Amino acid sequence: MNLSNLSVGLSTYLLVGAMLFCLGLYGVFAKRNIIAILMSIELMLNAVNINFVAFNRFIWNQKIDVHYLLTGHVAALFVIVVAAAEVAVGLALVITIYRNRQTTNVDEFNWLKW
């Protein structure tokens, strides 16, 4: 791969998205604090949004369908909405669990296990 191919194209954006996604995946697997896990989920959602916008930018053919030109942007916007709702409910759950159990460690969230 020569260096002139390294200009900013679709695959470069997709690689950035893949790196962010895998770092978030590692955080979900490896972290013990539930707030750190929520932060990693936000990283993964950001990576997905980068992919939506990049595909919309580079491979949407304007001549075929001009009315749906920004569909990738709309999808990314809905992902942002769902992420905001998810983080609100998730943090409310974290605070409730902390109030009852005095812990944020996911290894101790096991009292539904028998």
Partner 1 sequence: MIGTVVFFIFAIMAIAAAWGVVTSKNIVHSALYLVLSFIGVAVLYVLMNADYLAAVQLLIYTGAVSIMIVFAVMLTLRGEVSESNPENRHWGWGALVAFLVFVVMGLVILTNGDWRILAAPWTSGGSAEDLSYLLLQRFMIPFEAAAILLTVALAGAVILAKGVKESK
Residue 98 corresponds to which tokens in the numbers above? 């902390």
Site for partner 1 contains 3 (CB under 8 A): no
Site for partner 1 contains 46 (CB under 8 A): yes
Site for partner 1 contains 108 (CB under 8 A): no
Site for partner 1 contains 87 (CB under 8 A): yes
Residue 104 corresponds to which tokens in the numbers above? 């944020």
Contact yes or no for 9/58 (Cβ under 8 A): yes
Q: Please, what is the minimum distance in Å from the beta carbon of residue 112 to partner 1?
A: 17
Site for partner 1 contains 40 (CB under 8 A): yes
Q: Please, what is the minimum distance in Å from the beta carbon of residue 114 to partner 1?
A: 22
Site for partner 1 contains 41 (CB under 8 A): no
Q: Which position has the token pair 């669990």?
A: 97
Q: 16, exposed or middle or buried, with CB in 10 Å at 0-12, 13-18, 19+?
A: middle
Site for partner 1 contains 59 (CB under 8 A): yes
Per the rule left: phi > 0, alpha: psi between -120 and 50, beta: everything else, 7 is: beta
Among 2, 3, 4, 8, binds partner 1 (CB under 8 A): 8
